[in-house]
Structure 1
């Protein structure tokens, strides 16, 4: 009997409050600006903050007339210390308060401030255009439907209500994604007070650090941190170059926290050399010798080498000898430079101007990062240059550090956090690896990170070994490096794909001693650093007494700080202001536990208490609810030679032929099951699992399975689109960033793969135990999919596609192998979170 995917689903928790602004732009996509980082604030605190920001003066705080106060607030908006009153009056008069009165005339001719006038002007201050984005005659119908934030007031507004409404407006995001107060800072609002010694620096508004620092006077220093390492075995502890950017105010005694990015790419990469080292994947899958291995057999031995003595300190100074300029910076870090944070970049061992060799994921790279943190906290020496042994302390640092960065950078943030190093207060980890085996392997198979077929630890090591770019230095280290490269190649063992002690030494989930809170960020379409990394990290962190937050977006391998639809930068600001400056801003309560971008509705975000539905629904694969489109119970993995070569050159063609519901050249090379059309939306939340009973016609085999969302729809673009060039202002006369977003594709697509899984049939138990495969014998095994959070719309169909070689990820042997699957003895378990109210 057929069963429905919608039968007895787990119900979702109530979605927490979301402040959302939606305007249909002429000739463009629907705009939604979600706001999660606003901190509700009492009237007394609002008055204090507005006074500190100089929107309220001793004179205006005594004004009882709301109209007069409103006029003064509008005039202050246009920077009274930079522009004449006549100029500011004209700017106010350029906005309309009602259908027949401009904003300045309104404040001179009316006896009260009406709600409609206040919000008409407010919308214009936020960048919305009269007649294009809203109508003056009735903004409230639009605002109510679109959930634009307002405060409950009388009509007309009282004096106190006007003050509260003005504060809320300043903390509302503009049409282009920044809060109004951030936009003002970028226009020079705070800069007009820079000569006033009494103006606070740093300065916090609604719990967030403000752009009150002069970025034209930033100080750039270089130091060399001595790490407790000798990875190049030269008899000296490795010196690690660190580049510091700090506010000039530190020269006058201000101590600031640090945002630290450990980036192995920072000093350059060896792209051509790495390309030459990339491994061939077009070869047969080899049979492995069976074993009875246990974890003890593959556990990495403790690595505690004897180190050279530290360098003798021959003097001390507070003045750096070396400076630098940077071609690449992380724009989120740039944002914080204007707000009273120092920023430090360090590439680590084996990079240009540092000692050591690359080790790709070992403890040595972690120590590279923690050594810099220890210096920032005052616990480790650094020197002004590589030779003189003159110590320089981080005397300007308040000792508090946060780490930021994506991918390898995020990986090192996680690695450092896991050590519990003193001084690290939090890490904002975007798309970080938590276990290198899961990055380059999967269930006993060599499985590439998306887009990088043939890459491995040795290729990544060569890519980042930027000491190679300094000729004299490389001459000294070349033999040592080539020997290290051979060790990487041997240890990674591409012949078997098994988990071994090499990979065990590269798991970040062992020996956890974490002390800091974590903000984790990952793309739900990231096939480079797949979602198992953040899933496993999050589940491991649940065992520790820390706070963790999670943001899941619809990107692939993307930074999130320049997206229009979510106030991610404000969330990070709130978080770091709390963790590094100790601001009591309710960051832990305000930042959602889990924040997820909807895949089916553009620019839409939801909050949840957790990721992963607490229960799952099981279905056998021969259930009549599924249709076997090609009526296969088996398939050949071997393609005609010309077709194989074509797909190798163009995997997109292979993927389309594999997943299309129409007859294709892949019809006989897969099993394609498709559910009945869904009667309601469902969300697959977490890690689905499939149990297969399958056989191979030979003594080796690999199985791949994908879950596919079938249904014609204008899905979100795979790559974020630039909505406005250089629209985001990170500070006054400071760096800018493009405004980006995932928007619906212009052309509807018929399907979307949203998760997959792969396994070597000889690794049915785990990744280190190897079992025999007898030809044509059925074996039953479980296979976990990549975790996901995916909404399938009513009318769509869930597809289960079972196949062999994956052109994007696995070895491509094109072997004469036929697989069979006993569908009656195979099943799938789906973690279904939510359906709509019709199913409650």
Structure 2
């Protein structure tokens, strides 16, 4: 693009902001010249309402600002794309080793009541403009070696949003409390975490004070901003938009959460049972992982010990909950409870093969926005835990033939700049099909009008146990075994072949009656640590800690099976986190302006006789547990031979079962991949009680289920 084509104000054509702004890189170290950079970059320190670390001063939240120069010079007011991402200021990559270090260490008692001590706000002693602050800025404030991660460079998401900078948007990122450059503690799923990120929105809207540095004396205003903010990001960064949206904060006009969490309890657990990777079940693991503040060389030993004592107390509080829902511990992170506060729109993005953040999360988020009466749309792809454009890996997938960032551009141009482009009228649901990744289908609603029932024809009883070796099961082959044969660990119930294609859309529910058959109750079912987990985390389901029987688990899978091998997109690693991609067009994803293009990619397919469509976990000790997380509060003591009714809600999905294929419902005990505590027990199932209700997109025949070998 020639110099003459650069603009000083945003240009919109065909409903999209155009790449008309010059770009200069922000991570070039000594070569970065703030006097000439086309993108103005600097950091601010937003004052929160809290003094979590008890130093008598309100905690400051560091935020990194990138703004096209002409906005700072006053040519226009910029809208802001904001990513609240606790990883971005650095991480503690030794998380697993750390947990083993702290498992038996003595810490001072940390009183959580101290987090709420009120202290007065600072009184600014002067002001500085954005430009003057940027002229003094040092790139080492945002691009520096991450001591907690082998000195790889941080703010590694620095380039993730360059597409938007060259189109006139400001880009702001913050790692929140407990990160290097900020005060306070990382407290996963808390109101403190939520409010830290909310405070940045308030500053951008003109409603909160931010300072030029950590001394907290010289105020700086976002005088280049039009006050309109959109939040986006993936995973933890896709979760915080939902958290902040439920505060109703002024200025937050829309969110585009990617693989975000609606409720931290159901991210870690399902219906009283563990669902996440065993070594990461304690929230304190993630809190430590994101606590790059440990690497702040200005902190005293006492300050470092305070952070550690806080995280240890966080562990102890979760241990008391076991795997059950506790409103006091989990309530603040159950964002869907605050749907009535939501005042913005949402474009929610998720992958059907995401086994990191469960697909139930997008459905709960969608429901919350509907309850709030706000515009909400879904883009659902066949990938795993990814963003459709993976800027840090230089590739992207097309969304129904379009560039993902162009779709987001259209959405935020409408909500942040008021461009009348019809973005709010896009389909309620845009979903990539499982049988042809080039085909995308639309629906006018996520909720369906029809239900298909799969009812067992059997009159017998089935006993399943937890003997992995006898079943020939391991973390590497669990899905292979479960989908294709019944074993001592699992019973399969299979339909006849489908005569017509049927599309399941929503949450599938399995109803059954089951009883504890055998197991040593007095010894907690003889727990074993099969996944080399630290002993602190291993106490999570210990009856001596929680005071109750816990995690007598069943795992449920819904599978598409066929006598012939068929192509499908599914994860290929034991952790169920990777769907490989293949480049189909080098440079096919256009970023525009001075920016290089990314490669256009497609998902690799596998050729098997099955695909796991969706799965769930449930604790037999929680027969009251249902879809809503708070229903998993009450647990019971199981008695051998005593049956209970269970309704197990599988993770949300949209999947077309093709003619000639069957559905297999698999009821198993433990899943080695997600097994913190391997226990010895057996479960008896009343086969006649097994019934599945599956929401479908159009009327279809109910079908029978038969036990399969």
Contact 1:722-1:740 within 8 A present in 2 as well: yes
Contact 1:757-1:785 within 8 A present in 2 as well: yes
Give per-residue Cα distances to partners, 1:268-291, cap 9 Å, x unaligned: 11011344317999xxxxxxxxxx
Matched, 1:721 2:610: no
1:507 shift after superposition: 1.1
Residues 494 and 277 (structure 1), Cα distance of their counterparts in 2 relative to 1, 3 Å cut: farther
In structure 1, what is the equivalent of residue 30 of structure 2? none
Q: Distance in 1 between matches of 2:431 and 2:270?
A: 26
Contact 1:704-1:802 within 8 A present in 2 as well: yes
Give structure 1 stretches of 5+ with no counterpart. Answer: 1-187, 282-300, 625-630
Contact 1:431-1:523 within 8 A present in 2 as well: yes
Residues 462 and 215 (structure 1), Cα distance of their counterparts in 2 relative to 1, 3 Å cut: same
In structure 1, what is the equivalent of residue 40 of structure 2? 219
1:304 shift after superposition: 9.4
Pick from 220, 243, 257: which aligns with 2:64? Answer: 243
In structure 1, what is the equivalent of residue 483 of structure 2? 659
Matches within 5 A, 1:293-308: 305-308=116-119
In structure 2, what is the equivalent of residue 763 of structure 1? 622
Residues 587 and 457 (structure 1), Cα distance of their counterparts in 2 relative to 1, 3 Å cut: same
Matched, 1:753 2:612: yes
Residues 819 and 330 (structure 1), Cα distance of their counterparts in 2 relative to 1, 3 Å cut: farther
Residues 397 and 227 (structure 1), Cα distance of their counterparts in 2 relative to 1, 3 Å cut: same
Q: Distance in 2 between matches of 1:764 and 1:280?
A: 35
In structure 2, what is the equivalent of residue 30 of structure 1? none
Contact 1:279-1:455 within 8 A present in 2 as well: no
In structure 2, what is the equivalent of residue 435 of structure 1? 263
In structure 1, what is the equivalent of residue 450 of structure 2? 615
Contact 1:720-1:740 within 8 A present in 2 as well: no
Pick from 186, 189, 193: which aligns with 1:365? Answer: 193
Residue 374 of structure 1 aligns to a residue in which SS?
Answer: helix
Q: Distance in 2 between matches of 1:742 and 1:502?
A: 39
1:471 shift after superposition: 3.0
Q: Distance in 1 between matches of 2:452 and 2:458?
A: 13
In structure 1, what is the equivalent of residue 558 of structure 2? 707
In structure 1, what is the equivalent of residue 691 of structure 2? 827
Q: Distance in 1 between matches of 2:414 and 2:502?
A: 37
In structure 1, what is the equivalent of residue 32 of structure 2? none
Matched, 1:445 2:269: no
In structure 2, what is the equivalent of residue 317 of structure 1? 128
Give per-residue Cα distances to partners, 1:133-188, cap 9 Å, x unaligned: xxxxxxxxxxxxxxxxxxxxxxxxxxxxxxxxxxxxxxxxxxxxxxxxxxxxxxx2
Q: Distance in 1 between matches of 2:496 and 2:188?
A: 46
Contact 2:336-2:368 within 8 A present in 1 as well: yes
In structure 1, what is the equivalent of residue 397 of structure 2? 563
Matched, 1:804 2:673: no
Pick from 769, 772, 789: which aligns with 2:654? Answer: 789
Q: Distance in 2 between matches of 1:409 and 1:387?
A: 28
Residue 542 of structure 1 aligns to a residue in which SS?
Answer: helix
Q: Distance in 2 between matches of 1:470 and 1:588?
A: 44
Give per-residue Cα distances to partners, 1:76-121, cap 9 Å, x unaligned: xxxxxxxxxxxxxxxxxxxxxxxxxxxxxxxxxxxxxxxxxxxxxx
Matched, 1:484 2:299: no
1:668 shift after superposition: 2.2
Q: Distance in 1 between matches of 2:22 and 2:588?
A: 20
1:232 shift after superposition: 1.2
1:823 shift after superposition: 1.2
Matched, 1:675 2:495: yes
Contact 2:454-2:495 within 8 A present in 1 as well: no
Contact 1:498-1:768 within 8 A present in 2 as well: yes
> Between Structure 1 and Structure 2, which shows a larger proportion of strand residues?
2
Residue 489 of structure 1 aligns to a residue in which SS?
Answer: helix
Matched, 1:818 2:682: yes
In structure 1, what is the equivalent of residue 83 of structure 2? 261
Residues 737 and 279 (structure 1), Cα distance of their counterparts in 2 relative to 1, 3 Å cut: farther
In structure 2, what is the equivalent of residue 575 of structure 1? 411
Report how many aligned residue pairs link the two structures. 606
Residues 388 and 598 (structure 1), Cα distance of their counterparts in 2 relative to 1, 3 Å cut: closer
In structure 1, what is the equivalent of residue 465 of structure 2? 636
Residue 468 of structure 1 aligns to a residue in which SS?
Answer: helix
In structure 1, what is the equivalent of residue 393 of structure 2? none
Contact 2:461-2:686 within 8 A present in 1 as well: no
In structure 1, what is the equivalent of residue 213 of structure 2? 385
Q: Distance in 2 between matches of 1:829 and 1:331?
A: 45
Pick from 452, 469, 472: which aligns with 2:295? Answer: 469
Residues 469 and 280 (structure 1), Cα distance of their counterparts in 2 relative to 1, 3 Å cut: closer
1:389 shift after superposition: 0.5
Give per-residue Cα distances to partners, 1:757-779, cap 9 Å, x unaligned: 21111111131111221102222
Contact 2:483-2:561 within 8 A present in 1 as well: no
Residue 791 of structure 1 aligns to a residue in which SS?
Answer: strand
Residues 474 and 586 (structure 1), Cα distance of their counterparts in 2 relative to 1, 3 Å cut: farther
In structure 1, what is the equivalent of residue 333 of structure 2? 506
1:331 shift after superposition: 5.7
Residues 521 and 279 (structure 1), Cα distance of their counterparts in 2 relative to 1, 3 Å cut: farther
Residue 189 of structure 2 aligns to a residue in which SS?
Answer: coil
In structure 2, what is the equivalent of residue 206 of structure 1? 14
1:584 shift after superposition: 1.5
Contact 1:208-1:570 within 8 A present in 2 as well: yes
Give per-residue Cα distances to partners, 1:502-523, cap 9 Å, x unaligned: 0122211223311111111111
In structure 1, what is the equivalent of residue 421 of structure 2? 585
In structure 2, what is the equivalent of residue 778 of structure 1? 643
Contact 2:47-2:209 within 8 A present in 1 as well: yes
Give structure 2 stretches of 5+ with no counterpart. Answer: 25-37, 104-111, 144-152, 390-395, 522-548, 572-578, 626-631, 704-709
Contact 1:603-1:742 within 8 A present in 2 as well: no
In structure 1, what is the equivalent of residue 148 of structure 2? none
Residue 493 of structure 1 aligns to a residue in which SS?
Answer: helix
